[in-house]
Amino acid sequence: MSIISDSLKRIKPSPTIAVTQKARELRAAGKDVIGLGAGEPDFDTPDNVKNAAIKAIKSGDTKYTAVDGTPALKKAIIAKFKRENKLSYSADQITVGTGGKQVLYNAFMSTLNKGDEVIIPAPFWVSYPDMVLLAGGKPKIVKCTEQEGFKLTASKLRKAITKKTKWLILNSPSNPTGAGYTKKEIEDLAKVLIKNKKVHILSDDIYEHIKYDNFNFYTIAQNSKLKVRTLTMNGVSKSYAMTGWRIGYAAGPKDIIKAIGKIQSQSTSNPSSISQAAAVEALNGNQGFIKKRSKAFKERRDFVVKSLNNIKGINCLTPNGAFYVFPSCKGLLNKKTKLKTDTDFVQKLLEKSNVAVVQGSAFGLDGYFRISYATSMQNLKKAMDRIRSFCEGLS
């Protein structure tokens, strides 16, 4: 009889973490592997943020804090929402967790009952369905095609909602596609949601500031009729290059925020006091570097998209934000290449060309693969050359 719980048997390890770990292992074994699997900025944490952490350590700010965030950080988060999104919240509508992932996990654990449905547009971030399953819920995957820009339409949302629907997850700009929802697209979804009053919305805004081509970010809580049903998650990991600091936060209805705090009080308790002090400086300090880094990401995006679209059998849309592209490899899956699936493609690419990417099926849409261009242009140029050579060698 196995000691492992049945709930754990329902899920699988994160494919993106697995690819990143595999790349590390191959490099340690002496292989010249270029890892394009990690969703992590290659830029360093800004110096003013580091200095705030050092100051916190030196001043003895190293003790337990309030379970769901220090007053100073909650104040900074409230100011951020007001300044950037024109949204007003009180301290009891804010929660802080050990990364955005914990905030999402806590939200599902504290709200889902067995059989509750969560609508997840695909392609999706790999952890959404497994978090729902762990909490006893049922992921309802709605596939969004390349022709739809990998975005959920109002008609598909309307058809997906049932009496059991509790949450809709929206992620814009998106991981893995970089697709961003325009204000009109959000408002079209909002019209459906306003009529379905029992559905709550979980808006994952973690890539809010990494956007291109004058894309105007709009979050669904800005619709006054839906704010009371929306939990908006964000964090400092992507925009501020603070992945290892592990600070995520959310704003939403008081009852949900209180429930999240209850879960956290019996699991991890408070996030790191030092990381919270650093996050205060990140949110309150100079924001000018964000645009500069986004400009660098855009240059990489443009290079990668152009390079991929010049490879026979590969097709790649130009994303609005984040630091991912989600190209199709369907043109290379046939009897001639002996590749049947996107998993075959990425495994052979790693084996033959030492380039690590993630298969699209891990994100809920077959026939694609995800590239993270959060690495140097030097690495990207080498990687694109290798991918081109690999694909040409298949024919």
Residue ranges per structural domain of the chain: 6-44+289-394, 60-284
pLDDT for 133: 96
- Coil, helix or strand for 127? helix
What proportion of the chain, given as a percentage, has pLDDT over 70? 100
pLDDT of residue 15: 75
What pLDDT is attached to residue 395? 72
What pLDDT does 11 receive?
A: 82
Average of per-residue pLDDT across 39-61 = 97
Determine the Cα–Cα distance for residues 208 and 181; give it in Å rounded to an integer: 11
What fold does the segment set 60-284 form as a domain? Answer: Aspartate Aminotransferase; domain 2 (3.40.640)
Read off the DSSP letter of residue 234: E
**Dist. CA 226–CA 214, nearest whole Å:** 26
Q: What is the pLDDT of residue 196?
A: 97
Q: pTM of this prediction?
A: 0.96
Q: What percent of the chain has pLDDT over 90?
A: 90
Distances from the Cα of 110 to the Cα of 12, 14, 200, 256, 305, angstroms: 21, 22, 13, 8, 40
**Mean per-residue pLDDT for 289-295?**
96
Residue 8 has pLDDT above 90, yes or no: no
H-helix or E-strand containing 273? helix 273-284
- Beta strand pairing call for 34-35 and 230-235: unpaired
**Could you read off the pLDDT of 255-268 as tens digits, one per residue?**
999 999 999 999 99
CATH architecture of residue range(s) 6-44+289-394: Alpha-Beta Complex (3.90)
Q: Which of 289, 308, 299 is nearest to 391 (CA)?
A: 308
Contact 369, 360 (CB under 8 A): yes
User: Do residues 373 and 325 touch, judged by C-beta distance below 8 A?
Assistant: yes
User: Tokens 């060698």 belong to which residue?
Assistant: 393
Q: What is the pLDDT of residue 342?
A: 96
Judged by DSSP in three states, 332 sits in: helix
